[in-house]
Structure 1
Amino acid sequence: MKPIHDPYNDEKWIAGFAAEGGPRYLQIVKALERAIADGSLQAGDRLPPQRRLAEMLNIDLTTVTRGFAEARQRQLIEARGTLGTFVAAPKVELTQSVDLSMNIPPPPADVDMEALLRQGMSQVLMRTDTDLLMTYHLGGGSHADRSAWAQWLKPMLGRIDIERVVTCPGAQAALAALILALTQPGDVILMEPLVYPGLPLAAEQLGRRVETVAVDEFGMRPDSLEEACRKHNARLIYLNPTLQNPTTRTMPEQRRLEIVKVAARWNARIIEDDPYWLFAGHAPPPLARLMPEQVYYVSTLSKCLSPGLRTAFVVLPDTQAQHGFLSALRTFSLTSPLTSTLVTQWIHDGSAAQLLAGVQTEARVRQRMVSGTFSGSTNSPEDHGIHAWLTLPSYWRALDLAAAARGDGLVIAPSAAFHSGRNPPNAIRVSLGGCRSRAELEAALRKLSGLLAQKPPVQRELVI
């Protein structure tokens, strides 16, 4: 049996505590993660009693208790009754699958989400009638809401008329409403061959047809778009031009100008799905800023702040388009005033900006982890999005790798999940936000890298 080691006699694992920023209970968790990662704390090591640790760090006991509770939730430590609290054995191999397929923002290490929610809801309840918060809202937001949302969108679109901004319960609802409002059953929607799967799914469910347009290294080709508009008499184009899902490609400004000019010649509207603009380094202006009268702009907080917010903004080309869009949205969804009011409060008091900065920092760290692990990542060093696109070695097929990864407790997204037509590229998308901690992500990336380094097993049929 391993002898009990009391690492609190050696205070190195908590060195630098006072110098670090962020909530103090999270600093305890980070110190534990760091010490476990570098080996200064090992499975089975006993931690100091909470009261003693509070004295050592000169903080109150409740802060330590909260830090230990968070560390237990992250499976870093375990309590053994009267014996005390110990560093837990690694459980990555034995727990449920690690999801690298869901594109959500990573939880920021230095932001106290619980405190933000508590403070934000307190302000909302002080300033808003509770009955109004707990009923349906049919409109696209109050004047105060629209002002806040226009403020949030200013880095992307500059100053905009607040009456052009409406809110939706998520980007998927916004996309479905736009398809309903802008097309008729049987109409064609043009898109790139690799695309966010929710768009073709919504189009199919609503009885619209999807056709793909050829791309090059800069994105959708203008000459191919021109030909597709002529051939299919298409009046709607879907694009995700910045840190595109799944390829992470960002369309340069010149190509964007060429695309909107083709759309204008054919009187085709563009849905610009732009959830990742705030993660891109030196992002070009959105299509909606280059030619606002031609573009319906969709931006969601679920990809840059938290999926729990389920809030998306749609910027319409003009105020006349609002009635048709909201009528379409109301056929299947209504806005939650509680969520939208909290979003407005967070934008006004700076909480949304604080949370965004934390997510951006965490995404940047996680992208470096990917770049340091895989040579086939296509991500630019200037970008810090929430997913990576990995080209596979020739001996692995994407679907085979996904199946092998499932056997090892990893869920990844093969290129076929995003591709329309035959012969998808041999690549996978790896999402970086599903892992709660960096340690969990690092272990998952190492496991995936180990799989890639091996050749797939030869399948032999049993002959009887």
Structure 2
Amino acid sequence: MSALTMHWEKCIAESAKPAYLMIPDLIEEALQSGRLQARDRLPALRDLANALRLNYTTVARGYNEARKRGLIDTKAGSGTFVRGRAPSMPLRGGTGAEMTMNNPPEPASMAARLRESAAQLMGAADPYTLLRYQDFGGTPADRAVATRWLKRLVPACRPETVLITPGIHSALVALLSQLARPGQPICVDTLAYPGIKAIAAQLGVHLQALPGDEDGPLPTAFELLCKSQKPCAFYCNPTIQNPGTRTVPQARRELLADVALRYSVPIIEDDAYGMLPPNGPDAFATLAPELTYYVTGLSKCFGAGLRIALIHAPTPRQTQRLAGTLRATTVMASPFNTLLATAWIQDGTVDDMLKALRAENVARQAIAREVLGERRFEADPNGFHLWLPIPAASAWTPSELALHLRSRSIGAVSSVAFSTDGNPPDAIRLCLGGPGDRDEIEESLRIVVDTLDDPHHLHSAML
């Protein structure tokens, strides 16, 4: 390890990044370059501290960060070992059961209709019109159609407060870029969409986790933070939350909205799954319309490849300000995708797809209940992911379990990916939409059960 630690010492000395955050970066870099291999033993804390000319506490924090990322594992009495990265899996269409990315199922009953509809739309369109730059945020006609769609959940929205963008993720980049202020936190749940974590890290924005209960973030904690340090925004994923599947009930939404209103804290309502339930609580955009930026899209109704998201801002002026930020980062949504989305909204294809998707979700959740049996897990019957706690008596950690399942061609995501408070629960998220059919769902879940029941898997090869 001497040559490697000399390299690490040089990198740490030349970087402005805190040393404890550099250590996991350097471990990951060494894995990618082949300087470290899975199961390699790392130096003891005191030895590495001496080699890197750092204090013991800094190296201990560095190892802890690496452990959170799933890069290393420490066995009492044995030392610290490289865990390694999971082998790659095809995202879709290969032999693996992709339960990592939160893709919706693909109802077989809709395939022919979607194919025929898309062909007709493309055949009737002027190809050169679709290849040109378009009005940013959608044409007036496109925005009118999008508004009719949004009114199901945000009845007060108008075309002048709506923008069409290429995916929810790009909308969140623009919103954080516009709302975030140096030194001010953005309030989030203790478990959150990994994309918001990545965006915040890229922009240097601090995410402040709010403690919560089974109904969501605690209003008292939110108010306490508002009093002690004015947050830039409150980010929430209130319907079929990713990853925990919880829907924040009406009463809790009203209390949280009241705090935001009293302290004038903008709300970013990421309602990616909002269209899946046939009905539900009021959106924050209805409870606090003057503060809420409401974001939804068609990725969780049709598929991630459609990349069409809709944003409703509080006022036309704020919509135009947001349009300027979005223009700088995304230019415009794909005219091809916008054509498909607006046409499918108008001709009822979206409604039929939603019905088929809900039916498929219910069927897949029923399979999950049967296979998982008495095991505790969280799910929404209209959703297509589930949250599976790991029993306290299990020898598995979430990262080890996710890594091992991937070695068996089952994609799963460790709770570490979602944690915003540095204290992830022992659980994994499984997407029921990725596997191609119901038989594959059943087979995949039986492998998960088998893995949990047989701790000898913990010592089998992972790479």
**TM-score of the two chains, using structure 2 as the length reference:** 0.75
SS at match of 1:278: coil
The one-letter amino acid of 1:417's match is: A
**Corresponding position of 2:74:** none
Q: Are 2:239 and 1:242 aligned?
A: yes
Equivalent residue pairs, number? 362
Change beyond 3 A, Cα 1:318–1:402: same
Change beyond 3 A, Cα 1:361–1:393: same
Q: Are 2:442 and 1:442 aligned?
A: yes
**Corresponding position of 1:223:** 220
Q: CA deviation at 1:348?
A: 0.7
Instruction: Give the Cα separation in 2 of the matches to 1:304 and 1:458.
Output: 37
Change beyond 3 A, Cα 1:250–1:433: same
Equivalent of 1:365 in 363, 366, 370: 363
Change beyond 3 A, Cα 1:399–1:315: same
Q: CA deviation at 1:449?
A: 1.3
Q: Deviations over 1:2-49 (max 9, x none)?
A: xxxxxxxxxxxxxxxxxxxxxxxxxxxxxxxxxxxxxxxxxxxxxxxx
Instruction: Give the Cα separation in 1 of the matches to 2:180 and 2:98.
Output: 35
**Corresponding position of 2:106:** 107
Change beyond 3 A, Cα 1:136–1:456: farther
**Corresponding position of 2:259:** 262
Give the CA RMSD over aligned residues.
1.9
**Corresponding position of 2:341:** 343
Q: Deviations over 1:234-277 (max 9, x none)?
A: 12110001111000011110110111111111111000001112
Q: Deviations over 1:269-322 (max 9, x none)?
A: 000001112223642111112221111000011111121210000011111111
Instruction: Give the Cα separation in 1 of the matches to 2:266 and 2:156.
Output: 22
* Alpha-carbon contact 2:173-2:199 (below 8 Å) kept: yes
Q: Deviations over 1:382-402 (max 9, x none)?
A: x32010011111213212211
Q: CA deviation at 1:324?
A: 1.3
Q: CA deviation at 1:125?
A: 4.7
* Alpha-carbon contact 1:186-1:207 (below 8 Å) kept: no
Instruction: Give the Cα separation in 1 of the matches to 2:109 and 2:459.
Output: 47
SS at match of 2:153: helix
Change beyond 3 A, Cα 1:125–1:361: same
Change beyond 3 A, Cα 1:188–1:159: closer
Instruction: Give the Cα separation in 1 of the matches to 2:182 and 2:126.
Output: 42
**Corresponding position of 1:376:** 376
Q: CA deviation at 1:112?
A: 2.0
Alignment of 1:89-238 (within 5 A): 96-113=95-112, 115-123=113-121, 125-126=123-124, 128-238=125-235
Alignment of 1:274-313 (within 5 A): 274-280=271-277, 282-313=279-310
Aligned-residue sequence identity (percent) comes to 34
Q: Deviations over 1:426-459 (max 9, x none)?
A: 1111101111111111111111111122225575
The one-letter amino acid of 1:242's match is: T
Find runs of 4+ consecutive structure 1 residues off by over 4 angstroms: 456-460
Q: Are 2:322 and 1:330 aligned?
A: no
* Alpha-carbon contact 1:136-1:336 (below 8 Å) kept: no
Change beyond 3 A, Cα 1:160–1:124: farther
SS at match of 2:300: coil
SS at match of 2:164: strand
* Alpha-carbon contact 1:146-1:162 (below 8 Å) kept: yes
Q: CA deviation at 1:331?
A: 1.4
**TM-score of the two chains, using structure 1 as the length reference:** 0.74
Q: Deviations over 1:124-151 (max 9, x none)?
A: 553x543221122242112221121112
* Alpha-carbon contact 2:385-2:429 (below 8 Å) kept: yes
Change beyond 3 A, Cα 1:277–1:373: same
* Alpha-carbon contact 1:191-1:213 (below 8 Å) kept: yes
